A and B are shown apart, each in its own frame.
Chain A
Amino acid sequence: GQNIDQPTEMTATEGAIVQINCTYQTSGFNGLFWYQQHAGEAPTFLSYNVLDGLEEKGRFSSFLSRSKGYSYLLLKELQMKDSASYLCAVNPGGSYIPTFGRGTSLIVHP
């Protein structure tokens, strides 16, 4: 089976940096996605990693280590609007169906 682990909840201060970790054990690997989901809204795509290393996109960066089955999403210069759930999803080998973790609820406070 597929297993994706993320912390349930994190809190951070406006203007700070936060790192949300994701570990996975899947039968093969075809890429890892991060999505953002505000309460009551649809998930929206943030980033995709298929090779090891860091992908930077504005205030958000995502890192992947395939040998360790590990990824993180780094959010810089936190804003109140970044309060949301962050979902890690993996495409297992031989499958193109994203398997999602339970998501990490991030609370940004002033």
Chain B
Amino acid sequence: GAGVSQSPSNKVTEKGKDVELRCDPISGHTALYWYRQSLGQGLEFLIYFQGNSAPDKSGLPSDRFSAERTGGSVSTLTIQRTQQEDSAVYLCASSLGPSIMNTEAFFGQGTRLTVV
């Protein structure tokens, strides 16, 4: 596709349920990032993929959060046993490679997750 695509755009879930968020990066982009943005806050880094491997998972807030990437393309972020504090906009971004020398990241529209 022309840009980074995320689905669903909105998700309302009950506390304790599991959710899966999907990201389709720009074709040919090897680097993929997940960020979380709460109301009035900056972008909080969650996880970074280079190809299918995740060299940096340091931002995942707890072991309820996991992510995978298959075929060097689509990525899924899974949140198990959701809590109200997980409510946020989850943004995915991709870039041609590691962000070196003006290789900017392109962001998707995000998934707005609301845990009730």
Interface residues of A (CB under 8 A from B): 4, 30-31, 33, 35, 41-45, 48, 50, 87, 89, 91, 95-103
Contact = CB atoms under 8 A, between A and B. Distances in A.
A50 B102 CA distance: 8
A48 B98 contact: no
B64 to A, nearest CB: 22
A33 B43 CA distance: 13
Contacts of B35: 100
A96 B45 CA distance: 12
Contact of A42 (B48, B98, B109): B109
Contact of B105 (A4, A41, A98): A98
Chain A interface main SS type: loop
Interface residues of B, number: 24
Contacts of A44: 107
A33 B95 CA distance: 13
A87 B40 CA distance: 12
Contacts of A48: 102, 104
Nearest to A103: B42
Contacts of B105: 33, 45, 98
Given A41-B109, A42-B91, A42-B110, A100 B42 contact: yes
